């Protein structure tokens, strides 16, 4: 059954720190099985890793996934502990087992890498915004009202200047991805 999610640390930090909506994160965690690794865990804020409800809600795999793709990124120590590559490895494994529903990658480099090199993974690779839209409008695991609350909070945090790039979103992504997604869910909400 394709119901599992692998996500990079940006997704968890977005929910718990950038927009401070841990409650919505737990809605996602109860809707899908989430998988992560040690490197991603190491990038998460303590408010999540010290939360027993969080650690009980996710499954952890501990292998060095970066080793599988290292020649494409080089030996520079700046990438060795990047959680994005761990998310790709775990996502690939879940996909090979026919279990992957979403691979959430918000950073451009790993997102492009996964889509370019892994044909089967490409349609499952989403950013946080795309993930929320599909969870709401295709999978119907959260209500449109909650999805809008989530996305509007990102917009507010960005436009108020509270954070410079909440959830890895900059003004360009706000214009080209976030606002169209909000519009899409609003229309979906009306027609539903």
Please tell me whether residue 116 binds another protein under the rule CB under 8 A: yes
CB of 131 to another protein, least distance (A): 22
β-pair partners for 100: 4
Nearest to 85 by CA among 113, 61, 60, 58: 113
Considering beta carbons, is residue 27 or 99 the nearer one to another protein? Answer: 99
β-pair partners for 60: 36
Contact 26, 142 (CB under 8 A): no
Please tell me whether residue 107 binds another protein under the rule CB under 8 A: no
Strands across the sheet containing 4-7:
58-61, 34-37, 4-7, 100-104, 125-126
Q: Treating both helix axes as pointing N-terminal to C-terminal, what angle do 128-137 and 144-159 enclose, rounded to 10 degrees?
A: 160
User: Which helix (H) or strand (E) covers residue 104, if one does?
Assistant: strand 100-104
Whole-number Å distance between alpha carbons of 3 and 94: 10
Coil, helix or strand at residue 182: helix
- Work out which of 17, 31, 69, 179 binds another protein, going by CB under 8 A: 69
Please tell me whether residue 2 binds another protein under the rule CB under 8 A: no
Candidate ranges 24-32, 48-56, 108-116, 136-144; the one touching another protein (CB under 8 A): 108-116
Candidate ranges 3-11, 25-33, 67-75, 172-180; the one touching another protein (CB under 8 A): 67-75
Please tell me whether residue 98 binds another protein under the rule CB under 8 A: no
Contact 36, 65 (CB under 8 A): no
- Work out which of 25, 29, 87, 89 binds another protein, going by CB under 8 A: 89
Considering beta carbons, is residue 21 or 39 the nearer one to another protein? Answer: 39
CB of 98 to another protein, least distance (A): 11
CB of 58 to another protein, least distance (A): 17
Considering beta carbons, is residue 85 or 102 the nearer one to another protein? Answer: 85
Please tell me whether residue 38 binds another protein under the rule CB under 8 A: no
Give the number of residues in contact with another protein, rule: CB under 8 A.
26
Q: Which two tokens stand for residue 83?
A: 């959680």
Q: Which residues of this chain interact with another protein, rule CB under 8 A?
A: 61, 63-65, 67-76, 89, 92-93, 96-97, 109, 112-113, 116-119
């Amino acid at each position: 059954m394709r119901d599992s999610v692998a996500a990079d640390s940006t997704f968890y930090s977005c929910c718990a720190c950038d927009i401070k909506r841990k409650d919505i994160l737990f809605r996602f965690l109860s809707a899908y099985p989430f998988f992560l690794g040690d490197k991603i865990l190491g990038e998460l804020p303590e408010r999540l890793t010290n939360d027993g409800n969080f650690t009980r809600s996710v499954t952890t795999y501990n292998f060095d996934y970066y080793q599988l793709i290292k020649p494409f990124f080089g030996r520079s120590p700046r990438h060795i502990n990047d959680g994005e590559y761990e998310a790709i490895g775990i996502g690939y494994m879940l996909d090979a087992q026919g279990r992957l529903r979403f691979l959430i990658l918000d950073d451009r480099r790993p997102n492009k890498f996964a889509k370019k090199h892994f044909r089967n993974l490409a349609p499952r690779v989403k950013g946080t915004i795309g993930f929320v839209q599909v969870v709401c409008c295709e999978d119907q695991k959260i209500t449109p009202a909650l999805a809008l609350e989530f996305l509007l909070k990102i917009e507010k945090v960005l436009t108020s200047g509270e954070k410079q790039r909440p959830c890895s979103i900059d003004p360009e992504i706000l214009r080209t991805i976030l606002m169209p997604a909000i519009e899409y869910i609003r229309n979906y909400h009306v027609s539903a």
